[in-house]
Structure 1
Amino acid sequence: MLSIVYGVLSLPLLLYCSAKLLGSAKAPNTFARGYVLRNRVTHQRLLPEPSSHRFVYPTVCLLVSLSALERGALDVGRGWLFGYGGVFGRLTGLRPGPYLAAGGSSGNGSSTIRERLVRVLTPRFGNAAELLEDAWMMTMPSFLGFEGINPLTVYFCYKSTGEFWSCVLEIHNTFGESHVHVLEVGQREDAPPSGSVAADGILWSGIPNQQSADRYDHQWTFRREFHVSPFNDRSGFYTVAIKRPNHPPMAPPSDNKFPLPVVRVQLYTDSDSGSAQDSPGPLKLVAVLRCTSSAPLTAPSLLSALLWAPLGLLLSFPRILYHAWILHYVKRLDVFLRPEPFPANPDWAAGATNPPKLPQPAGVKWQSEGILERSAKRRVVSFLRQRAGATGISVSLVSADPATPREDFPLPSGGDSKAGRHLQIDYLAPRFFTILFLSPSATHALLLGHTSDKVFFPSSAELFLEVFSAPLSSVSPLSAAQQARLQGLPHSLKHSLALPIPPTHPLDFGWNTTVTWFMVKLLRALEEVERGIFSIARARPVKGDEPWKQWERAEHALTSREEFSTLGREQEGYEHGSVRSG
């Protein structure tokens, strides 16, 4: 292990010496289209006060022109020290895969970062392809083939005139999901930006910025919509202030200085005044990404930065785990479990029964479905292909993830449409399929997946029950798989007259009974394993948010007849985070 660490630490030093000897430090003939940035990242949690926490650490990132990057003009050392298009076979690199939404006009996921950025900007600006001349992309590259978590990637977008017109923040979490905020210059800005680069720099690290007299250029306040930290729910507001690069990527700087961008993110709780909670409340958390020095992207500057913070590109996730351990076990903050991301389509579930209230769509990446979710989905798809003709009800499945294509199950040619009855099911995540498979009846699935946990939204509850119901029998015994499904359910959900249980599950017909029983038992066992891991680790989810209590939540929804109109649940007994107040 030590030899690996020594190798990682010594490689940049050897390469740096070689670059110096080979004269790679010659100044470029033209202005730089890429820079190596040395940064100080600072975080301070202010609320709840007993759990306040603060840390500072150095990072290395790149500021690159997208146009120059994608035509290979920024490759260093013939692409071996730094290159675009892949991560293997080079010291550092960038590729489109981790950034923004996959796909493209060809649908094969081979689109460039610029094409993906245009696709993000188009819903807001329409003619984004014409407006966007170039953009600075500020991000952390891969190192020795390893792509760490990029908590924040920033795109500074410019018109052909050199005018800075929008800023795109791409936020990544540890679950492989990402979200964007498109911030337009001159639109919904806070004026003037509060605070200054100098004040933040001295406050956090005691080191003044080279542009210490400057204030932030722009500031916006908007609602929080994405799950990033397990110690915050999705409520509240962000206030983001930026100091943009001092020149566009298409033109040299007028002051002969290198860019020193700064991004400050402040998280505010919802206001306590009024029921709408549409204004920021107390300041909860502050984070600042502050560039302390920059240099044109060359072999010596890149290697020198890696020597300055040799493990910086590898430590994002370990640092997250370390500070999460402090907040949970030392500061006693409970964990908000990951909610499903908000849909990308603003019209998603618009025709559903009790449609959810949705924010501005901005999700770009979702978790991929697991093996068992994929297996359950195959059963649902196979069932619906036959069921549409039997019931005269056509069905559509619409995912919140735009990368998952819509699936339609029309009636067979010449079939009776029964006055054109159509069921559309909008679902947030592949968990929808395991809920259908594990619930002992369609009524149970509707209670858990729609009324309680809000994972899916049918256009008609009646049509949903008609499509997914199985024949009832008072004499036929329950199948082994059905008996396994009932294990762990509260007594009231097993014996309620409102929740009749068929002897055989509709998704079990035509499948091997032993395989079905094993799959049910495996999914139930995994639920218990998750509970056991939390118990062994002494991890504490926010009360009422425990995954293994999903059926208890469903029981509560049944007995109280509660109806929810928004995605997610407000947690009771918590203030300014996840410290229990009662």
Structure 2
Amino acid sequence: MSLRSQTVADVCVTIVCISLSLFLYKSRSSAGGVTYHRPQAYLLHNQVTHARLLPVNASNAFTYPTLAFLVSISALEGRFLDLGRGWIFGYGGIWGRVTGLRPEPYLTKQTGSIKSKLEDLLRARGHLDEKRSLHDAWMMTMPSFLGYEGINPLTVYFCYNSEGTFWSTVLEIHNTFGESHIHVLEIGKNEDSNPPNGYMFLSTTIHFLLTPMAPFRYNHQWTFPREFHVSPFNDRSGFYTVSVKRPTHPPLFTDITSSQRMPSPPKPSVRVHLFTSEEEDSSKVGALKLTALLRPARSTPLTSHSLLFSLVKAPFELLLTTPRILFVAWKLHYKKRLDVFLRPEPHPVAYNRDLMDRPRPTKPSGGVKWLDEGLLEYYARRRIEMFLSTRARETGIEVAILAPDPGMPPLIYSPDGSASPIRLTVSYLSSRMFSILCLCPSAEHALLLGCEAEKIFRVSSKELFIAVFSSTTPPLPTTIPDLTRLQRLRSANIPGSLGIPIPTSHFLDEKDGFGSKLGSGLLIFSHQFLDWFEKWVFTIVKARVVEGQEPWKQWDRVADICINGCLTVPNYLQNGSTIGSVIRAA
């Protein structure tokens, strides 16, 4: 065969091979197409809008951009979403990577994955059973950036079962104190009818205008009483109405062929309205007070390119959440003249009836994280625990101490290691209770301050409480100077008008050695200094607390109870106002 003939043959074979390849490709495409994987993580460029309508003189509105992730928690914890070998984005930590997510800041303090903690919470609250399961969930949250982890004011979980059916939304709310609260909003359960259209809020110097946005509807809406303290410029009254636009598709891992339509990138939206209570009936929804809207302007699959491009374009979006919160707080307090409501203790959770001498009338709280105890509170708690370990045997009274966090086991002190027919149950909302027991000169003072005035703890029996925490030394009139030095320190800021006898020594001091008494003295000095310093700081920065909530006036509130039999109604509530915010005149 000549060289020319061989060349022609090679060209013909090449053409045939190319034609056959094109034919097979088209045949495959017509039969099912090229297979793609549906993304299990998206980058959300959100617009967040807040607007305050009440009080009218403090009206305010602002909008800012945020960057958030929408990720499948199963894919996240399977490390299928890590980018750049976990350096650009990785699960399990925040250091040594540009962005990251880890389970510790989310939901409860218990160890475990985000999914396992979410399952435990849903099961404990009766939302998981044979008919309802958690197969996967979209998690909408903000990641850490260069090791910095913000407070993440709102994390949303869109929960799906194994069939890919969306069945609940879980809102995880964080405040700046390190506390968090969840709301489980189940589809078809206590749900409002006819979810509304989306709205945007435009602020002017005179009023707020509600203008319809681009056409979209919320899929679901719920209304429920407010329970969690978030803003220092509102009390804890009122109602939330939460409207949710769910993601376009479930996070389940599935393949899509080129002949099928790729689902639109999900743009889940959440709108929260805060309503006041009606003046005539506090159980009914009143006027609209605040509104917040989180709405993605753009949603793209989470890739190394999309993430790095977004960070280069707006490098500070993940760092500005806390500064924005502080700036708005400064504006509302000093410019709009709104007074500060001090942080109330979270609502109590329901305990096992076997541990309570009487059932608690309130429903379980949605609290999942509580404020950690400080060093002084830890020392006070250890002192009380050591005291009760012997006091129960001396009095024959069993003492049960119940913490606000249901994940913490109750502390039970029995006379002989077994159950006693005489039982005192003390349930507390804050570890401050242990400090009150150490700082008050008598059990009667502790009851008035912690149980009646500040409502830090509750007791099943006041008589048993006094029997357990009373000194064996006889009480003396407050004018007699025969008190121990520690008792004089404890009584220094207590007004004599209370008329409550003070025992010569404290129940903790009677059997203590020099070291323990020195520790008690340092504890008392430290608290008195911090009380003085707190008042000094508020005075220097000209911060204003709502009248009647000043921490340095706690014994004035006790005196009010002793004189009037109850606390005086705060001025901002005396005229029947239900706004739940206070403007101080200039």
Secondary structure at 1:136 match in 2: strand
Q: Which residue of 2 aligns with 1:16?
A: none
**1:314 Cα deviation from its structure 2 partner:** 0.8
Which residue does 2:370 correspond to in 1? 366
Confirm whether residue 533 of structure 1 aligns to residue 537 of structure 2: yes
CA deviation map 1:350-394 (0-9, x unaligned): 9468x8753442100001100000111111001101101111111
Q: Residue 545 in 1 paired to residue 552 in 2?
A: no
Give the whole-Å Cα distance in 1 for the aligned partners of 2:361 and 2:445: 24
8 Å CA contact 2:547, 2:571 repeated in 1: no
| Match among 185, 198, 207 for residue 187 of structure 2 | 185
Equivalent residue in structure 1 for 2:220, among 218, 221, 233: 218
Deviation, 1:126, is: 3.6
Residues 580 and 472 of structure 1: is their aligned pair in 2 closer, same or farther, counting only changes over 3 Å? Answer: farther
Pair 1:56 & 2:63 matched: yes
Given the superposition, is the C-alpha separation of residues 484 and 201 from structure 1 closer, same or farther in structure 2, using an over 3 Å criterion? closer
* CA–CA distance in structure 2, aligned partners of residues 297 and 344 of structure 1: 39
Residue 244 (structure 1) aligned with residue 249 (structure 2) = no
1:398 counterpart = 2:399: no
In 1, the alpha carbon distance for the partners of 2:297 and 2:228 equals 29
Whether the 8 Å contact between 2:337 and 2:584 is mirrored in structure 1 is: no
Secondary structure in structure 2 of the residue aligned to 1:432:
helix
The answer to whether structure 1 residue 143 and structure 2 residue 133 are counterparts is no
Q: Give 1 or 2 for the bigger CA radius of gyration.
A: 2
> Which residue does 2:273 correspond to in 1?
266
Does residue 409 of structure 1 match 2:413? yes
Residue pair 2:38, 2:262 contacting (<8 A) in 1 also: no
Kept after mapping to 2: 8 A contact 1:269/1:280: yes
- The aligned counterpart of 1:579 is 582
Gaps of 5+ in 1: 1-26, 104-108
Q: How much has 1:489 moved relative to structure 2?
A: 1.4
* Separation in 2, partners of 1:450, 1:257: 55
Structure 1 residue matching 2:216: 3-state secondary structure: coil
- In structure 2, the residue matched to 1:200 is 200
Per-residue deviation at 1:255?
5.9
Superposition deviation, residue 422 in structure 1: 0.9
1:452 is matched by which residue type in structure 2? A
After superposition, the CA RMSD in angstroms is 2.7
Please state whether the residue corresponding to 1:562 is helix, strand or coil: coil
- Code of the aligned partner of 2:327: Y
What is aligned with 2:447? 446
Amino acid across the alignment from 1:120: L
Mapping for residues 131-530 of structure 1, pairs under 5 Å: 131-194=133-196, 196-197=197-198, 199-200=199-200, 212-250=214-252, 251=254, 256-274=263-281, 277-345=282-350, 351=356, 357-412=361-416, 420-473=421-474, 474=476, 477-493=482-498, 496=499, 499-509=500-510, 510-512=512-514, 513-530=517-534
What whole-Å deviation, never above 9, does each CA across 1:124-173 have from its counterpart, x for those lacking one?
22428961111000000000011001000000001111111000000000
**Which residue matches 2:27?**
none
Deviations 1:208-267 (A, max 9, x none): 97xx33211111101100000000111000000011110000157966310111110000
Structure 1 CA distance, aligned partners of 2:572 and 2:384?
A: 32
Render the CA deviation track for 1:527-549: whole Å, top value 9, x for unaligned. 11111111111110110011111
Confirm or deny: 8 A CA contact 1:225 1:234 kept in the other structure: yes
What per-residue deviation string (whole Å, max 9, x for no partner) do you get for residues 402-443 of structure 1? 24321111112599x5xx211110111101001111111000
Per the alignment, in what secondary structure is the counterpart of residue 540 of structure 1? Answer: coil
Partner of 1:88: 95
Give the direction of change, closer, same or farther, for the CA distance of 1:33–1:279 in structure 2 (3 Å limit): same
> How much has 1:345 moved relative to structure 2?
3.0
In the alignment, the residues of structure 1 paired with residue 509 and residue 261 of structure 2 have an alpha-carbon distance, to the nearest angstrom, of 70
Query: 1:60 touches 1:309 (CA, 8 Å); kept in 2?
Result: no
Report the Cα distance in structure 2 between the residues aligned to 1:77 and 1:392, rounded to whole angstroms.
Answer: 64
Give 1:507 deviation, angstroms: 1.6
After TM superposition, give the deviation of residue 561 of structure 1 in Å: 1.8
Q: TM-score, structure 2 length as denominator?
A: 0.86
Q: Which amino acid aligns with 2:46?
A: N
Write the distance in 2 (CA, Å) between the matches of 1:305 and 1:359. 44
- TM-fit CA distance, 1:279: 1.3
Contact 1:442/1:469 (<8 A) preserved: yes
Asked whether the 8 Å contact 1:92–1:142 carries over to 2, the reply is yes
Letter in 1 for 2:435: T
Q: Is the 8 A contact 1:37 1:295 kept in 2?
A: yes
Q: Secondary structure at the match of 1:555?
A: helix
Question: Equivalent residue for 1:24?
Answer: none
Where does residue 101 of structure 1 map in the other structure? 108
Q: 1:581: how far off? A: 7.6
Equivalent residues of 1:346, 1:361 under 8 A apart: no
Once the two structures are superposed, residues 65-117 of structure 1 have per-residue CA deviations (whole angstroms, 9 ceiling, x without a partner) of: 010000000001111000100010000000000000122xxxxx2x1000111
Q: Secondary structure at the match of 1:434?
A: helix
| C-alpha distance 201-321 of structure 1, shift in aligned 2 (>3 A) | closer
**CA–CA separation in structure 1 for the residues paired with 2:210 and 2:304:** 30
Question: Is the CA contact (8 Å cut-off) linking 1:225 and 1:359 kept in structure 2?
Answer: no
Quote the Cα distance in structure 2 between the aligned partners of 1:144 and 1:245.
Answer: 29
AA of the residue aligned to 2:194:
P
2:288 partner SS: strand
Give the total of aligned pairs.
Answer: 533
Task: Write the deviation string for residues 537-578 of structure 1: whole angstroms up to 9, x where unpaired.
Answer: 1110110011111111111112222289xxx99954665233
Task: Provide the rounded CA distance (Å) in 2 between the counterparts of 1:529 and 1:31.
Answer: 57
Are residues 157 and 530 of structure 1, via their aligned partners in 2, closer, same or farther at CA, if it must alter by over 3 Å? same
CA contact (8 A) 1:349 1:426 kept: no
Instruction: Say if 1:189 and 1:505 are closer, same or farther in 2 by CA, change over 3 A.
Output: same
User: In 2, are the aligned partners of 1:66 and 1:136 still within 8 Å (CA)?
Assistant: yes
Q: TM-score, normalised by structure 1?
A: 0.86
Contact 1:242–1:264 (CA under 8 A) maintained in structure 2: yes
Kept in 2, the 8 Å contact 1:94–1:141? The answer is yes
Give secondary structure in 2 for the equivalent of 1:505.
Answer: coil
Is the alpha carbon distance of 1:128 and 1:339 closer, same or farther for their aligned partners in structure 2, counting shifts above 3 Å? farther
Letter in 2 for 1:438: L
SS in 2 for 1:556: helix
Structure 2: unaligned runs, 5 residues or longer: 1-33
Assess if the C-alpha contact under 8 Å between 1:472 and 1:501 holds in 2.
Answer: no
Indicate how the Cα distance of structure 1 residues 435 and 33 shifts in structure 2: closer, same or farther if over 3 A, else same. Answer: same
Q: Report Cα offsets for 1:272-300 as digits up to 9, x if no partner.
A: 123xx111100000100010001111011
TM-superposed CA distance for 1:346, in Å, is 5.5
Aligned to 2:48: 41
2:548 maps to a residue whose letter is G
